[in-house]
Amino acid sequence: MSDSANPVTVTPILDRVRLPADMKGLSDAELKKLADELRTETISAVSETGGHLGAGLGVVELTVALHAVFDAPRDKIIWDVGHQCYPHKILTGRRDRIRTLRMKDGLSGFTKRSESPYDAFGAGHSSTSISAAVGFTMGRELGAQTGDAIAVIGDGAMSGGMAFEAMNHAGHLGKRMFVVLNDNEMSIAPPVGALSSYLTRLYAEGPVQDLKEVAKGAARAFLPEAFHEGARRAKEMLKGMAMGGTLFEELGFTYVGPVDGHDLEQLLPLLRMLKTRAKGPVLIHALTKKGKGYAHAESRPDGGHATAKFDVATGTQVKAISNAPSYTKVFAESLIKEAAKDEKIVAVTAAMPDGTGLNMFAQLHPRRCFDVGIAEQHAVTFSAGLAASGMKPFCAIYSTFLQRGYDQIVHDVAIQRLPVRFAIDRAGLVGADGATHAGSFDVGFMSSLPGMVVMAAADEAELVHMVATAAAHDSGPIAFRYPRGEGMGVDMPETGVPLEIGKGRMIAEGGRVAILSYGTRLAEVLKAREALQARGLAPTVADARFAKPLDTDLIDQLVANHEALICIEEGAIGGFGSHVAQYLSDQGVFDRGFKFRSMVLPDTFIDHASADDMYRTAGMDAPQIEAKVLELLGVAVAKRA
């Protein structure tokens, strides 16, 4: 992109703000100008890095107001979900690094405690902020050196059940804390459910809007004592006319709102009043617009949620061109074909219809596609109920989000042996989103469950067959995993053919050592084999396809014909390789001196970078696979520079 396309921004007031303390001397008029400059700087930075744009633009004024009124880092501002935090990072000493967002050794795209004392609580997943704020609040009550806790919960995060568990607890405790409900009528996709409709009713009725100063509860702070009771009664009357009381007040919170989340003339006096007067838990209902202030984001259906690098003037994104389809698209198209043949097939996702490809499914089968909101636990048990009713549910959830529904997978699906099909997207390391979104653990936590069938696609053609396999499997739960991004560019089958459960495939015959690959590391394994072949040491390569049940006949064959076996997978310890090791141990193979190694993700959380960089850090690229083979065979090689 040229400098003329994305010109250098002029930000005289923002230039004076290195930390939030520098905002304390600014007038309200200057704070309004600061917000405008902060929005411009956020757009400029994300145009160069890519990332979550719309959510941050929607909270610019909230960010300015909160930092101008409260005293971070003593006061704990908790962003939920964390991708709203880009403007916050700019105001908290990280402006000079904001153009390293989501890059190797750069700033995280989420709040991260190790990055800054102003990031009070790390958040890559949603609906956690109120629980954390209650924790900070009670820490303060028990003597911790901390101030107020302010949870900023938005972008659909309020649909997560954990938020209401926390509000119930906070209301019971009755201690001073603040929840800012950033109500932009969005999550990643447009919102779903009764809660969204309820919030709409809270501000759609005329009487509340006409007398908003009374309805939002601010009047009491500015009226003489003699008028307080009258103001209270007027507020209750107006709320009764509009909605008959509020859910939040029933949970023990003082409800304040709705307030225009982009109007600093409303936000600043309201927050100052509440900071001075509040005694118990307060919920501030702020109305915002995702992508606010950047037309190219505002006009998108997702409010400019996530974007590649882009041209500021036109909004045109810069994306690498690939000839291979994405795994997500292959899954969606395969599921659509299966659904055309079987009317019992239904699809379920948790606020990620676009990310999982189910938006394509919904266009053709709207009655058979369900977006349950940011509610993974419900998504799993809802799918279990569908299966128990005789339907064939495909529950499509990112690996890292599926962790949130694990109890439901165990209790509601596995124990009852219900045929829920888990489509596990974003398996393995995912690049710029980093550790919070890495699909590192699903192989282990799914394969440990009795009766669960667990597959991993080595390429996009295999994924087509695994969708067909899941559709045909009706005797219990089944899962298949696949990574983010484009496929390998292999030839694609016209239709999927169900695989034999628990059977792998031989890829290449060789000698001395065998490599048993599980998932898309197969491509790197084959690169390593080429390098080893040049040394006269070409290994045998097999694709396991299944982590459970294991193809024990294939494993026995590899053990019988080789002196060593290496397993490799895109997951943490305790997964596929551990199951193979357990089997070999039970068979007494190690008693005979057989050599075995398992290449898994290291016992650490790997910071954001490109996926290739992350796998290199993990020790799982082709040169490192080659080195592992040579090491196992006792062949000395010079180390790479």
Annotation-wise, does 50 bind a ligand?
no
Rounded Cα gap, residues 62 and 59, in angstroms: 5
Annotation-wise, does 88 bind a ligand?
no
Rounded Cα gap, residues 153 and 164, in angstroms: 12
Residue 21 structure tokens: 């303390």
Rounded Cα gap, residues 438 and 328, in angstroms: 16
**Of 37, 338, 376, 570, which one is the catalytic site residue?**
376
Examine the residue annotation and report whether 104 is marked as an active-site residue of this protein. Answer: no
Rounded Cα gap, residues 573 and 186, in angstroms: 37
Rounded Cα gap, residues 619 and 418, in angstroms: 38
Annotation-wise, does 126 bind a ligand?
yes
CA 319 centroid distance within chain: 21
Annotation-wise, does 305 bind a ligand?
no
Q: Centre a 10 Å sphere on the Cβ of residue 172 and count the other Cβ atoms it contains.
A: 12
Rounded Cα gap, residues 140 and 148, in angstroms: 8
**Of 95, 140, 235, 404, which one is the catalytic site residue?**
404
Closest CA to 575 of 617, 518, 513: 518
Closest CA to 20 of 94, 106, 103: 94
Return the H-helix or E-strand segment holding 478. strand 478-481
Contacts of 395 (CB under 8 A, 6+ apart): 348, 349, 379, 380, 383, 420, 421, 422, 423
Rounded to a whole number of angstroms, the distance between the first and last alpha carbons of the chain is 34
Annotation-wise, does 83 bind a ligand?
yes
Annotation-wise, does 376 bind a ligand?
yes
Cα dist from 255 to 246, 284, 529, whole Å: 8, 6, 64
Annotation-wise, does 294 bind a ligand?
yes
Question: Any idea which residue has 């997951």 for tokens?
Answer: 571
Tell me the DSSP string of 181-227: EEE-S-SSSS--SHHHHHHHHHHHSHHHHHTHHHHTT-HHHHS-GGG
Examine the residue annotation and report whether 569 is marked as an active-site residue of this protein. Answer: no
| Long-range contacts formed by 246-251: CB under 8 A, 24+ apart | 246/202, 247/198, 248/167, 248/283, 248/285, 251/164, 251/167, 251/168, 251/170, 251/171
Annotation-wise, does 182 bind a ligand?
no
Annotation-wise, does 398 bind a ligand?
no
Burial class (CB in 10 A: 0-12, 13-18, 19+), 483: buried
Count the residues in the chain.
641
Rounded Cα gap, residues 219 and 227, in angstroms: 10
The number of C-alpha atoms within 13 Å of 214 and in the hemisphere containing its C-beta is: 18
Closest CA to 516 of 539, 546, 541: 541
Rounded Cα gap, residues 10 and 8, in angstroms: 7
Annotation-wise, does 451 bind a ligand?
no
Q: Centre a 10 Å sphere on the Cβ of residue 37 and count the other Cβ atoms it contains.
A: 20
Examine the residue annotation and report whether 290 is marked as an active-site residue of this protein. Answer: yes
Residue 332 structure tokens: 């969606």
Question: Any idea which residue has 């996009």 for tokens?
Answer: 460
**Of 235, 290, 426, 484, which one is the catalytic site residue?**
290
Catalytic residue ranges: 290, 376, 404
Annotated binding residues, written as ranges, equal 83, 124-126, 155-157, 184, 294, 376
Annotated binding residues for thiamine diphosphate, written as ranges, equal 83, 124-126, 156-157, 184, 294, 376
Annotated binding residues for Mg(2+), written as ranges, equal 155, 184
